[in-house]
Amino acid sequence: MNQIKTLINGQFINTKNSLEVYNPANNELLALVPNIDDEAQINDIFKQAHNAYLKYKDSSIEDRVALLEKFASLIESNKEELATIIMNEVAKGYKDSLVEVERSVEYMRATNVEYLKLIKNPTVFDQSIHGVKNKVATYYRLPVGVVLAISPFNYPINLLISKLAPALVAGNSVVYKPSTQGAMIGIKLAELAHQAGYAPGVINCLTTDARKYGDLLVTNQYVKALSFTGGPKVGNRMAQITSKISLVLELGGKDPALVLDDADLELAANEIVKGAFSYSGQRCTAIKRVFVSSKNHDQLLTLINQKVNQLTVGLPKDNPTIVPLINNNTVKYNIDLLEDAKSKGAVWCQELKVDHSHNLLYPMVVDQVNEQMRIAWEEPFGPILPIIVYDHLDQALELINRSEYGLQASVFTSNLDNIEQLALQIESGTININRSSSRGPDILPFFGVKDSGFGIQGIVDAILSMTTIKGVVINK
């Protein structure tokens, strides 16, 4: 069995007990990774990370930028191997896995660029700019200490790198806990970081059972910033039990696509199908409900169904759109949502087709969904798409905003006059006009409201969230 050691304080270590990583495409055990299952050991990891930070923070900016670039280059030169690990570990299509690795390398390089801009342009207050008399106040950006990063399975490299890169370039040390389905790539990244030359303790891959130790991790005294991507239940608990740390939480969504009466329906259908079904809907920004008026309903549904019926379904190595779901529980959960909807009068537009041995759920559009159905509100993280018919725009907006989530939204229309007015009525972080929702390009701020999150990501905002300021005021 492939038993992989993880990097803690500059050493590759093993543990008595292991966590099991399965291949979702065949349910076979892929690897065993360390299960760090000891409170004192966990506390010590943070203490060592803090000690490492005390030295690393004084390294030169140029050295940190060069280290991050070296780390990025190593990821780039190992991209096929990394993509293969992603494909096996989380059943993402090989080509999409490769794109994810490349996007991560770009993210690192862009982080270097934006960090240098921030550092070279400290905020200055003086007479000429703000009328501040007899003082020149300069505010510098500094690291905060130990950053704790907790990442999900669905972007196992990209959502780790988007936390590690800003933390490292700014002079923080990092303890990160990858999702167990994602731990192989997490450890591989640690190996490459070690090879790049990060000093012991600056980067630590803490593989552990988060259900048991989650509270201990996030409340550790040395943790000064926490960046978490995962579910709202866990994220909301983190917000409750932490204090005086920088908190960035990305917690999922139920992104609506609102199709207005004057929309280009072909464009809307293309974007909706792409947004709802890529990576089998296992994206927090996937379109997870469609609102269409009775005027356009039949035509839009026909277009969506035509496209959904053509989606390719299969194993990740063949690069289909619909790939295996992350595990059998997710398959069951999606089927429960489908059955609940059908029992309350919804119409399944495709037959229910499941291949349990590969965790493959075939895509399904569910028509005539109403607010009594769980699928109208819950996040499936699977390839199922509810269609909700509205009579008046106000009714659609009310249902959209009644969701506990507010990550992103899409509005389809051919009339851009006053579109901002409508967009601003939608309670979500970002509203995409005539496009499906998505986090990228990564330079854009990315955030959710309500149960979708707290704090802001995106290249610049992530750096801001992992740094603090120090002012030097020269009195004249």
CA distance 40 to 44: 6
Contact criterion met (CB below 8 Å) for 115 and 96: no
Three-class SS state of 364: strand
**Shortest distance, CB of residue 9 to ligand G3H, whole angstroms?**
30
| Residue 367 φ then ψ, to 5° | -95, 165
Question: Interaction with ligand G3H in 277-296: which residues (CB under 6 A)?
Answer: 283-285
DSSP-assigned letters across all residues of 128-197:
HHH--TTEEEEEEEEE-SEEEEE--SSSTTHHHHHHHHHHHHTT-EEEEE--STTHHHHHHHHHHHHHHT
Among the candidate windows 196-204, 310-318, 433-441, 461-469, which touches ligand G3H by CB under 6 A?
Answer: 433-441
Q: Between vectors from CA 246 to CA 241 and to CA 251, what angle results, nearest 5°?
A: 70
Mark residues 109-148: x for contact with ligand G3H by CB under 6 A, - for none: ----------------------------------------
Least separation in angstroms between residue 408's CB and ligand G3H is: 8
**In the complex, least distance from residue 252 CB atom to ligand G3H, rounded to whole angstroms:** 8
Contact between 438 and ligand G3H by CB under 6 A: the answer reads yes
Q: Which of 89, 114, 250, 379 is catalytic?
A: 250
Q: Kindly write out the interface string for residues 249-278 of this chain, putting x where it contacts ligand G3H by CB under 6 A and - elsewhere.
A: -x----------------------------
β-sheet bridge partners, residue 18: 34
Binds ligand G3H by CB under 6 A, chosen from 141, 358, 439, 450: 439
Minimal distance, residue 49 CB to ligand G3H, in Å: 25
- Residue 430 in contact with ligand G3H, rule: CB under 6 A: no
CA–CA separation, 43 vs 218, rounded Å? Answer: 11
Measure Cα distances from 395 to 272, 308, 344, 353 in Å.
21, 27, 20, 33
By CB under 6 A, tell whether 15 contacts ligand G3H. Answer: no
The answer to whether 220 touches 148, Cβ cutoff 8 Å, is yes
Closest CB to ligand G3H among 440 and 471? 440
Number of residues located near ligand G3H, criterion CB under 6 A: 9
Q: Report the residue from 46, 53, 71, 155 that binds ligand G3H according to the rule CB under 6 A.
A: 155
- Comparison of 48 and 282: residue with beta carbon closer to ligand G3H: 282
d(CA 266, CA 299): 9
Contact stretch for ligand G3H (CB under 6 A) within 106-114, 263-271, 287-295, 432-440: 432-440
Give 11's strand partners.
8
Nearer to ligand G3H by C-beta: 204 or 432?
Answer: 432
390 beta partners? 293
Torsion of CA 413, 418, 424, 428, to 10 degrees: 20
Nearest 5°: phi and psi at 433?
-90, 125
Q: For ligand G3H, give the closer residue by CB, 46 or 228.
A: 228
For the bound state, the minimum distance from the C-beta of residue 462 to ligand G3H, rounded and expressed in Å, comes to 12
CA dist 13 and 33 (Å) reads: 10
Q: How far is the CB of 102 from ligand G3H (least distance, A)?
A: 13
Residues 412, 271 contacting (CB under 8 angstroms): yes
Least separation in angstroms between residue 77's CB and ligand G3H is 24
Whether 379 is a known active-site residue: answer no
Helix (H, G, I), strand (E, B), or coil: what is residue 366?
Answer: strand
Pick 65 or 90: Cβ nearer ligand G3H:
90
Applying CB under 6 A, does 154 fall inside the site for ligand G3H? yes
Told to check if 440 binds ligand G3H by CB under 6 A, we report yes
Residue 181 beta carbon to ligand G3H: minimum distance, rounded to whole angstroms: 14
Contact between 10 and 315 under an 8 Å Cβ cutoff? The reply is no
Q: How far is the CB of 360 from ligand G3H (least distance, A)?
A: 20
The DSSP element (H or E) to which 226 belongs, if any, is strand 223-229
Q: What would the x/- binding string for ligand G3H be over residues 197 to 216, using CB under 6 A?
A: --------------------
Nearer of residues 64 and 439 to ligand G3H, judged by Cβ: 439
Residue placing its CB nearer to ligand G3H in the complex, 111 or 285: 285
Please report, for residues 140, 344, 368, 372, 375, the alpha-carbon distance to residue 301 in angstroms, rounded to integers and kept in the order given.
54, 20, 11, 21, 17
Of the two residues 285 and 321, which places its CB atom closer to ligand G3H in the complex?
285
Name which of 197 and 440 has its Cβ closer to ligand G3H: 440
DSSP of 24-38, one letter per residue? TTTTEEEEEEE----
Site string for ligand G3H, 365-404 (x = CB under 6 A): ----------------------------------------
Point out the residues that are catalytic. 250
Which residues lie near ligand G3H (CB under 6 A)? Answer: 154-155, 250, 283-285, 438-440
